[in-house]
Amino acid sequence: MKIIIVDDDILVRDGLKILIDSEEDMEVVAVAKDGQEAFTQVEKHNPDVVLMDIRMPNTDGIKGTALIKEGYPDVKVLILTTFKDDAYISEAIKNGAQGYMLKNQSSDVIINGIRTVASGTNIYGDEVAEKLKGMIEEKKQRVEVSEFNLSLRELEILELISKGYNNKEISMKLFISGGTVRNYVTVLLDKLDLRDRTQLAIYYIRNIE
């Protein structure tokens, strides 16, 4: 199994190389210090797996992953980083990474992760998997907003509720009667299946804002 290590920290690269080369079925065929250099090394060596860091100067791991997957879709990319930001995880997966693991894993877990990705199975460390679960749930909740077909006026009122305005203040701000505001609030509670104004405010902040 041919592997390329991509990391701007030479100590990390050397340590991973020693670890991987000690496995009978693995060989580090090249190392790179950023995503662009990784792409060049992929062109030369056609590896099975690229072990990719995220934050690197010049071309980061997100762009490096996109470059590799666009030109060599069969090459597997496993992100190995210290960062577990939602944006990094989302962009890495969107750009084709087959796995996302944190560097605080044991050597056995990292080696197993490489083998798993090489076999064609996606893999995520426990912390990343938990983050992904939350991101998926959040996405589902956001989709629900469009499914309820809220009108622009309903969205306006929902936004003002989230900002702490009471019915009288909302009626003055939108130039509608207090009774009309109350009707809108009742409709919103019914459409979104929520109990009270506090839940309406939380729903807007979590799913629409």
pTM over 0.75: no
pLDDT of residue 113: 92
Q: Answer yes or no: same fold for 2-131 and 148-207.
A: no
CA–CA separation, 44 vs 52, rounded Å? 17
Determine the 3-state secondary structure of 120 from DSSP. Answer: coil
DSSP 78: E
Poorest-pLDDT segment among 26-30, 81-85, 167-171: 81-85
pLDDT-based confidence at residue 149 (cuts at 50, 70, 90): confident
CATH 2.60.40.10 corresponds to the domain 2-131: no
- In sequence order, the β-bridge partners of residue 79 are 52, 100
Residue ranges of domains in the chain: 2-131, 148-207
pLDDT of residue 141: 57
Share of the chain above pLDDT 70, in %: 88
Would you say 61 and 37 are in contact if contact means Cβ atoms under 8 Å apart? no
pLDDT-based confidence at residue 123 (cuts at 50, 70, 90): confident
Count the Cβ atoms, other than its own, within 10 Å of residue 91. Answer: 18
According to DSSP, the β-strands at 27-32 and 49-52 are unpaired
4 sits in the region (left: phi over 0; alpha: psi -120 to 50; else beta) called beta
> pLDDT at residue 77 above 60?
yes
CB-hemisphere CA count at 13 Å for 38?
37
pLDDT-based confidence at residue 122 (cuts at 50, 70, 90): confident
pLDDT of residue 14: 95
Beta strands in the chain (DSSP E): 2-6, 27-32, 49-52, 76-81, 99-102, 123-124
Two structure tokens written together for 72: 């060599």
- Rounded average pLDDT over 66-95: 87
Please give the radius of gyration of the chain, using alpha carbons only, rounded to the nearest integer.
Answer: 24
pLDDT-based confidence at residue 110 (cuts at 50, 70, 90): very high
* CATH class, 148-207 region: mainly alpha
CA–CA separation, 168 vs 25, rounded Å? 72
Would you say 93 and 86 are in contact if contact means Cβ atoms under 8 Å apart? no
Average pLDDT, the chain: 87
pLDDT of residue 204: 81
User: Mind listing the pLDDT tens digit for each residue in 161-190?
Assistant: 888 888 999 999 899 999 999 999 999 999
> pLDDT at residue 135 above 80?
no
3-state secondary structure 161-172: HHCCCCHHHHHH
**Is the pLDDT higher at 167 or at 198?**
167
